């Protein structure tokens, strides 16, 4: 039996195996404090029933681990019934030469490439290079919607400032799908809005399988005050002016919250300290609640005001996050982070398909919000 993390997005430290008991822990690398992302490959265990014990805290989500039998092509939750405290049980199928097990359902560069290949030749999509990462990777920058340079409105969408927050990527993909080919909000957005999309702000972390959150000396979402240390955040700040050209009205930054519990098992907007921005967040929230049709519920009353729970000034002591910085960009009316849970949204199952289905809800909300505020 072999356990390893030698593939894109992989993360595990295999401590030891005692019979059918396997002892592992997440690889924190340069993370300050604990975090919970892990993803590993299991080979040579067909037909065995194994118990995996995590030795560095309870890092199993509310629906158990995600399982893939096709090398990460598709994923399903194992289920909470397989979990006991910091351990889970799994019987490997008799014909499974390889199984991947993960805290969530990874979304990597290959997933983005599959999406882009499906829309190759679409006149409302252009792919460019945002920057080169510290590790030399190409960081994608996508432009969607009206691309002739004359769109009256512009919207910035960012994702994976914290690279382990993969479920948000499925919602971003669903939003982009509606912009490119949708027949509901899509036609109006394609006529009136140019989108700038950064799918992987921490591209190196996504591919390397890092935690990303609380990365030392600070993570990507605390890199918007003073001199940015990451190439992607420097490029985003520059483009807000050069590309935005005073027409940038909305910045929306997609995240996933903590592993479980209060404020972490429903979708919510993260309230910003500026009163004018909070008013627009509340307005957008009411619109989003009204237009939502997908399987994941959203209630504007779930939004988290600044000053409550974790959303306080002390949380930003290391630096500004993207949506706080976005609030200061000239012309921006609405700047918000939005938290999309890993597995549970008001009791509804979050998975790749349901998270994607939330994307068109966001597109419909952007259409109506912009129509109401911009005419």
In whole angstroms, how far apart are CA 192 and each of 174, 183, 274, 292? 19, 15, 27, 21
- Residue 57: left (phi > 0), alpha (psi -120 to 50), or beta? left
Q: CATH number for 2-102: choose from 2.60.120.1440, 2.40.420.20, 2.40.40.20, 2.60.40.3120.
A: 2.60.40.3120
In this predicted model, what pLDDT tens digit does every residue of 48-62 receive, in sequence order?
999 999 999 999 999
Under 8 Å CB-to-CB from 84, ≥6 apart: which residues?
none
For residues 86 and 60, is the Cβ–Cβ distance under 8 A?
Answer: yes
**Distance between CA atoms of residues 76 and 63, nearest Å:** 10
Point out the residues of the chain with pLDDT beneath 50. none
Under 8 Å CB-to-CB from 364, ≥6 apart: which residues?
178, 184, 185, 291, 292, 293
For residues 100 and 41, is the Cβ–Cβ distance under 8 A?
Answer: yes
Q: Do the first three CATH levels of 2-102 and 109-374 match, i.e. the same topology?
A: no
**Distance between CA atoms of residues 213 and 15, nearest Å:** 24
**Chain mean pLDDT for the chain:** 97
Question: What is the structure's pLDDT at 375?
Answer: 74
Could you tell me the maximum CA-CA distance found in the chain, to the nearest angstrom? 67
**Distance between CA atoms of residues 203 and 113, nearest Å:** 14
In whole angstroms, how far apart are CA 68 and each of 13, 74, 85, 97? 19, 6, 22, 12
**Distance between CA atoms of residues 46 and 51, nearest Å:** 14
We find that the CATH architecture of domain 109-374 is 3-Layer(aba) Sandwich (3.40)
Question: What is the structure's pLDDT at 190?
Answer: 98
Question: What is the structure's pLDDT at 317?
Answer: 85
Break the chain into its structural domains and give their ranges: 2-102, 109-374
Question: What is the structure's pLDDT at 262?
Answer: 83
Q: In what order do the strands lie in the sheet with 334-339?
A: 125-132, 138-145, 193-198, 153-159, 248-255, 334-339, 268-270
């Amino acid at each position: 039996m072999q356990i390893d993390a030698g593939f894109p997005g992989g993360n595990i430290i295999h401590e030891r195996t005692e019979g059918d008991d396997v002892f592992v822990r997440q690889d924190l690398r340069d993370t300050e404090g604990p975090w919970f992302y892990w993803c590993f490959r299991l080979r040579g265990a067909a037909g065995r029933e194994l118990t995996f014990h995590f030795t560095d805290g309870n890092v199993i989500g509310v629906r158990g681990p995600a399982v893939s039998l096709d090398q990460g092509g598709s994923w399903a939750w194992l289920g909470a019934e397989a979990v006991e405290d910091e351990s889970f049980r799994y019987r490997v199928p008799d014909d499974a030469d390889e199984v991947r097990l993960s805290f969530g359902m990874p979304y990597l560069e290959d997933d983005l490439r599959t999406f882009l290949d499906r829309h190759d030749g679409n006149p409302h999509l252009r792919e460019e290079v945002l920057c080169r990462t510290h590790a030399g990777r190409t960081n994608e920058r996508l432009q969607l919607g009206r691309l002739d340079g004359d769109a009256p409105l512009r919207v910035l969408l960012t994702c994976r400032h914290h690279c382990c927050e993969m479920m948000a990527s499925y919602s971003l993909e669903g939003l982009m799908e509606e912009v490119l080919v949708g027949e509901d909000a899509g036609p109006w957005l394609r006529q009136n809005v140019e989108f700038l999309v950064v799918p992987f702000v921490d591209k190196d972390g996504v591919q390397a399988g890092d935690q990303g959150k609380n990365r030392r000396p600070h993570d990507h979402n605390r890199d918007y005050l003073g001199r940015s240390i990451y190439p992607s955040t420097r490029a985003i700040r520059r483009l807000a002016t050069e590309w935005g050209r005073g027409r940038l009205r909305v910045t929306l930054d997609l995240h996933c919250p903590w592993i479980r519990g209060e404020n972490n098992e429903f979708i919510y907007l993260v309230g910003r300290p500026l009163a004018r921005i909070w008013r627009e967040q509340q307005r957008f929230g009411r619109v989003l609640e009204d237009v939502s049709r997908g399987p994941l519920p959203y209630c504007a009353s779930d939004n988290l005001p600044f000053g409550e729970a974790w959303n306080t000034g002390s949380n930003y002591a290391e630096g500004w996050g993207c949506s706080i910085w976005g609030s200061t960009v000239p012309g921006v009316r609405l700047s918000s982070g939005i938290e999309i849970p890993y597995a549970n949204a008001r009791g509804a199952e979050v998975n790749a398909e349901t998270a994607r289905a939330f994307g068109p809800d966001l597109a419909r909300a952007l259409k109506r919000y912009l129509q109401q505020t911009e005419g």
